[in-house]
Structure 1
Amino acid sequence: MIPYGKQDIRQSDIDAVVDVLTSDFLTQGPKVPGFESAVAQKVGAKHALAVNSATSALHIACLALDLGEGDWLWTTPVTFVASANCGLYCGAKVDFVDIDPKTYNIGVDSLREKLEKAAKENCLPKALVVVHLCGQPCEMLAIKALADKYDVKVIEDASHAIGGKYQGEYIGNGRYSDITVFSFHPVKIITTAEGGMALTNCDELANKMNVLRSHGIIRDPERMTHEPDGPWYYQQVHLGFNYRMTELQAALGLSQLERLDEYVAKRHTLAKRYDELLKDLPVTCPEQHADTYSGLHLYVIRLKLNELAVSHKAVFESLRAQDIGVNLHYIPVHTQPYYKKFGFKADDFPEAMSYYREAISLPMYPNLTVSEQSEVVSALKAALSL
């Protein structure tokens, strides 16, 4: 089967991990801070904190922004559940903003209207999680202007977008948000097997997240409540978590990071070929916003169902039957049983539901060959002609 996504592991990656296995440190050694420093330097951020998943990064980001009971977190309904769950972990309430029908990210007009209404009703969100879906950066300049106007903290969920750019600058530089989160899951652009990272330009937020990711413990005497009992002494000052990244993961990440630009460029080459091969089919190809350079984690098409005699489900099932490992990113979060109990209804966010009824993620990864890509397109043509 041709999968929708796949990691690229080379001998240099294996050697980097083996070097750690034969070193003195498997965890809490020099590789994690080295990986953090390399990513921060690459994207232009002041601080980077590696953790064991992007979900963990989202959680400590919300906690660092003091999100809690009585607060609201808003995000897009078209995302993985973690983008919303991070608010619930903190005791906050969650709501959604409908998507833009072209970029599939949070719609700026929808956000503006919802913020205006919330301001009148005195229920503005404390935090907004914007998701760079498929690697396509959101319209961050407009989003930051709205966030500043209504005093809303912004987290960029850039799990799909490392290596992508907004207005010529790398995603993660913190110019338009308080915190940015990356994912290093195997199907993402670079991998640490599992893993994530939170980036910020704020010293205070970085310090909070650093403590929260490791049990809420500090070892700096200057930050303790009293003089240390001895050189062994530490204090727990917050209810933190064991969200640390291992040295093995960081070593793999450092090795992969060297090929970040290569990976993203290859994805763009594949996307351009898809665009050409699919231009005469009854599908809508991804749109590249003029201000952005997508990380292209995913290549999502939308079926023009009004031009087809087959259903969305039939096309999906046919592709799977032909050993094309397509997927659907994502089932709108507000339709999940856990969220429906909060009163959400499917038609609350019509653009998200329209997207869901038409979207299919085609295979997209750097090692996808031309022949495999042609096989994907041939299978799609057959599925559309059922």
Structure 2
Amino acid sequence: MLPYGRQDITQADIDAVIEVLQSDFLTQGPVVPLFEEAIAKKVGARHAVATNSATSALHLACLALGLGPGDRLWTSTISFVASANCGLYCGANVDFVDIDPQTYNLCPDALARKLETAKLSGQLPKIVVAVHLCGQPCDMAAIHRLSIQYGFAIIEDASHAIGGRYRGRPIGSCDFSDITIFSFHPVKIITTAEGGMAVTNSKALHNTMELLRSHGITRDPTQMTHEPHGPWYYQQIALGFNYRMTELQGALGLSQLERLDQYVERRHDLAERYDRLLSDLPVTRPWQSPDSYSARHLYVIRVQQEIADRNHVFASMRAQQIGVNLHYIPIHTQPYYTPLGFKEGDFPNAEQYYREAISLPLFGTMTETQQDIVITALADSIKGCG
């Protein structure tokens, strides 16, 4: 089956990992700091903290920003559940904001209306997680203006978006946010097998995330409660976690990073080709904001319901060995979340998107021949609805 996403592992990647396997350090060595430094430089941020997953990075980001019981985190309901779960991990309350019907990202107008109401009831969020769905950044300038007005912190969940830009600046520069999160899962733009990264321009936030990443343990005498007993000495000064990235993952990431721009450019070529070749089909193609340069992680179409049934099209394409997928089921409709007070109808734009969306295959090594197969299968599937 042709997958919707696929990693690209080269001999250079393999050699980089083997070099680490033959070294003295498999974890907590020199390679992960080099990867952190390289990512920070690439995206224009001052600091970076590598983790074993983007989910872990989201959790650390929330903790570093002081999220706790009684606080509120808001995010888009069209995202992977990790974008919301990170708030629950901290004991906070989670709520959602409807999407913009063009970008499918968190809608700034819907956010503004919700904030105005929340201020009257004293229930403003402490953190808003802005999810860059499909690799296209949210309207961060608008969200940032609201953060100044209402006093919340911003996390950019850029799990889909490394290699993209907003207003000419790399996603991850944190010009309009406190912390940005990247994912290096195998279907993402570049991979470390599993892994994530939090980048920030705040030294204090960096230090907190770095401390909590490894059990809350420090070997820095300036952070200790008393003089160390000897060179072996460490202290646990906070309740942290084992969220570390291994040296093998860091080596793979460093090698992959060298091809990031190449991968994103290829995704753009394929996305633009999809745009052209799908123009005569009754589907809505992804709209791109002129303020953004998407990383093009996903190519999501919407099947026009009055012409074709999305479920039939999806099943037909799977039967033709095309690994289409759906990103995402609205989080507020998940069985874990509905007892928290959410119900269908709460976020109509998101729910309408869910009824129509299909993610077509798109990855850096995809060929035009493979893409033609996808397009033919899509056209046949829609025709079969008649």
Shorter-chain TM-score: what band?
over 0.9
Per-residue deviation, residues 14-63 of structure 1 (Å, max 9, x unmatched): 11001001111101111000000000001000000000000000000000
Q: Read off the aligned partner of 2:316 and give its amino acid letter.
A: S
Per-residue deviation, residues 175-215 of structure 1 (Å, max 9, x unmatched): 10000000000000000000000001001100000000000
* 2:355 counterpart residue number: 357
Q: Read off the aligned partner of 1:377 and give its amino acid letter.
A: I
Matched, 1:119 2:125: no
C-alpha separation between the residues in 2 aligned to 1:105 and 1:62?
20
Q: Read off the aligned partner of 1:105 and give its amino acid letter.
A: N
C-alpha separation between the residues in 1 aligned to 2:269 and 2:310?
27
Equivalent position SS for 2:345 = helix
C-alpha displacement of 1:346? 1.1
* 1:380 counterpart residue number: 378
> Following superposition of structure 1 onto structure 2, how do residues 1-386 of structure 1 map, counting pairs within 5 Å?
1-308=1-308, 311-386=309-384
Per-residue deviation, residues 234-254 of structure 1 (Å, max 9, x unmatched): 010111000000000000000
TM-score with structure 2 setting the length: 0.99
C-alpha displacement of 1:307? 2.3
C-alpha displacement of 1:349? 0.1
Per-residue deviation, residues 305-351 of structure 1 (Å, max 9, x unmatched): 1123xx21111000000000000000000000000011101110000
RMSD: 0.5
C-alpha separation between the residues in 2 aligned to 1:209 and 1:116?
31
C-alpha separation between the residues in 2 aligned to 1:7 and 1:300?
19
Q: Read off the aligned partner of 1:281 and give its amino acid letter.
A: L
Structure 2 unmatched ranges of 5 or more: none
C-alpha separation between the residues in 2 aligned to 1:196 and 1:212?
15
Equivalent position SS for 1:305 = coil
C-alpha displacement of 1:150? 0.5
C-alpha separation between the residues in 1 aligned to 2:378 and 2:36?
41
Equivalent position SS for 2:314 = helix
C-alpha separation between the residues in 1 aligned to 2:311 and 2:103?
23
Equivalent position SS for 1:2 = coil
| Structure 1 ranges of 4+ moved more than 2 A | none
Q: Read off the aligned partner of 1:29 and give its amino acid letter.
A: G
Q: Which moved more, 1:299-308 or 1:195-204?
A: 299-308
Per-residue deviation, residues 127-173 of structure 1 (Å, max 9, x unmatched): 00000000000000111000111010000000000000000110001
C-alpha separation between the residues in 1 aligned to 2:328 and 2:307?
23
Equivalent position SS for 1:128 = strand
C-alpha separation between the residues in 2 aligned to 1:260 and 1:194?
17
C-alpha separation between the residues in 1 aligned to 2:30 and 2:218?
18
Aligned residues: 384
Q: Read off the aligned partner of 1:6 and give its amino acid letter.
A: R
TM-score with structure 1 setting the length: 0.99
Structure 1 unmatched ranges of 5 or more: none
Percentage of matched positions with identical amino acids: 66
